Amino acid sequence: MSTDITYAQELDKEDELNEFRHEFYQSPERLYFDGNSLGLLSKRAEQAVNTIMESWKQYGIDGWTEGEHPWFYLSEKLGRMSAHLVGAQPKEVIITGSTTTNLHQLTASFFQPNGKKTKILADELNFPSDIYALKSQLQLKGLHPEEHLIQVKSRNGHTLETSDIIEAMTDEIALVVLPGVLYRSGQILDMKTITKEAHKRGIIIGFDLCHSIGSIPHQLNDWDVDFAFWCTYKHLNGGPGSVGGLFVHQKHFGNHPGLAGWFSSNKEKQFDMEHSLTAASDAGAYQIGTPHLLSAAPLLGSLSMFEEAGIGKIRKKSLLLTEYLMNLIDTELIDHGFTIANPRDQAIRGGHVYLEHPEAARICKALKANRVIPDFRNPNGIRLAPVALYNTFEEVWKMVNILKSIMENQSYKHFENKRGVIA
């Protein structure tokens, strides 16, 4: 592989998704590689918010049933637009809540300790909020988290072995909750195999797709996954605090939600105002409160781009970008103490590259001082996410060369090796 910028420029000329880059607001003076934390604003997302605002202005309360996007049905519409990204039937997906709210809802609905089966299986590498929620749910059931939450150990601190997960599925496990992609290392778990093994043992299983949706293809329905949940502000570019999403396999339709609420209702019955809930007969039953319209609106625009681009093409370019980035790191930064801690194997590598370095915090600060936006993960991790819809190969080349200059000049030493309030 050539390390010359002309090679990157040639790759950009061959990029079949290049047209989508111009859909996003970008500063020509900034290189943005933090799309796995917060995706960039697109013109379509901005317009979608304006459209919902206009319907509020024009219709007032009648906006619930009138206009281009009636609010009463918006969560379901966005669910249908998201279904192809997770390999689901349209009615199996609803856009609602937040990552943690949806995990609470799904755990309350599917964690039914009985007899020996009183434990939840998770992992030690998952994002903290998932663990907080699972511990809370155990406590609500009168179970001690230290005893009833089992966390699969990592052999190397970065990845999980499928065999270790399966071995931990004892006859005491009632529920398994795992990430689809590990947030640090970007490892893709073998969701199909893990689900199959959980069901062999009579265990319900769900996945956190925050770092996989919009980045890799899924086949949740075919894999027979019981449930899943995710945020929409990372690869889906829904904006800060945008509404989350959840999937419930159709085999569970008709079950009562663990946390019932106003929008859990069958829409034909909702305004009958009965005090006995008639739950929706699809994933809509797992909604709780009124949709957050202005936080859901950007998805009308951003999801339309995913429909047009196709997750297959997005995944193809993502793999090329991360492969190119790792090759440049291997050749240009080999003498500067970086370790690539994400999987090299394309089959299990998600949408970002994870570097480790003892000076990671101050290196990230130096990058930002040079108008490069990375993501620091305590204590020594640097995540770099070249996003298929808006990053280019030339940007990857520029970023690596800026990083090389920072290391050669030791300009990172001008900064404290300590994270900021938000890392």
CATH number reported for the structural domain that contains residue 318 in this entry: 3.90.1150.10
8 Å CB contact between 35 and 392: no
pLDDT over 80 (residue 122): yes
For residue 46, the model assigns a pLDDT of 98
pLDDT over 90 (residue 417): no
pLDDT over 90 (residue 418): no
The answer to whether residue 336 sits within a structural domain is yes
- DSSP annotation of 114: B
For residue 270, the model assigns a pLDDT of 96
Binding site residues for pyridoxal 5'-phosphate, as ranges?
99-100, 127-130, 208, 211, 233, 262, 290
For residue 2, the model assigns a pLDDT of 84
The answer to whether residue 279 sits within a structural domain is yes
Residues 274 and 364 in one domain: no
Residues 372 and 265 in one domain: no
For residue 420, the model assigns a pLDDT of 82
Helices (H), 22-157: 43-59, 74-86, 99-110, 128-140, 145-148
Q: How many CB atoms lie within 10 A of CB 386?
A: 26
pLDDT over 80 (residue 421): no
User: Which of 308, 337, 366 marks a domain boundary?
Assistant: 308
Residues 292 and 324 in one domain: no
Which CATH number do you get for residue 181?
A: 3.40.640.10
Residues 106 and 204 in one domain: yes
For residue 280, the model assigns a pLDDT of 98
User: Which of 253, 274, 308 marks a domain boundary?
Assistant: 308
For range 326-333, the mean pLDDT: 97
Q: How many CB atoms lie within 10 A of CB 343?
A: 18
For residue 419, the model assigns a pLDDT of 81
386 CB contacts (<8 Å, ≥6 apart)?
Answer: 33, 318, 321, 322, 325, 352, 353, 395, 396
Residues 51 and 21 in one domain: no
Residues 163 and 180 in one domain: yes
Tokens 């997770």 sit on residue = 86
Summarize pLDDT for 14-72 with one digit per residue, the tens: 999 999 999 999 998 999 999 999 999 999 999 999 999 999 999 999 999 999 999 99
Edge-to-edge strand list for the sheet holding 381-384:
339-340, 353-356, 381-384, 375-377
pLDDT over 80 (residue 306): yes
For residue 422, the model assigns a pLDDT of 73
- Give the integer Cα–Cα distance in Å for 55 and 68: 8
Residues 14 and 115 in one domain: no
- Give the integer Cα–Cα distance in Å for 60 and 38: 32
Q: How many CB atoms lie within 10 A of CB 45?
A: 28
Residues 277 and 211 in one domain: yes
Strand partners, 123: 152
30 CB contacts (<8 Å, ≥6 apart)?
Answer: 371, 372, 373
Residues 169 and 92 in one domain: yes
Binding site residues, as ranges?
99-100, 127-130, 208, 211, 233, 262, 290
pLDDT over 80 (residue 11): yes
Residue from 193, 239, 190, 242 nearest 216 by CA: 190
Residues 60 and 104 in one domain: yes
Summarize pLDDT for 162-188 with one digit per residue, the tens: 999 999 999 999 999 999 999 999 999
The answer to whether residue 39 sits within a structural domain is no
For residue 112, the model assigns a pLDDT of 97
Structure tokens at 91: 């009615």
pLDDT over 80 (residue 1): no
For range 86-106, the mean pLDDT: 98
The answer to whether residue 419 sits within a structural domain is no
For range 112-135, the mean pLDDT: 98
Residues 103 and 11 in one domain: no
- CA-CA distances (angstroms) from residue 25 to 39, 91, 201, 297, 396? 11, 33, 49, 17, 18
Residue 314 structural domain: 5-32+310-414
Residues 328 and 373 in one domain: yes
For residue 227, the model assigns a pLDDT of 99
> What is the model's pTM?
0.97
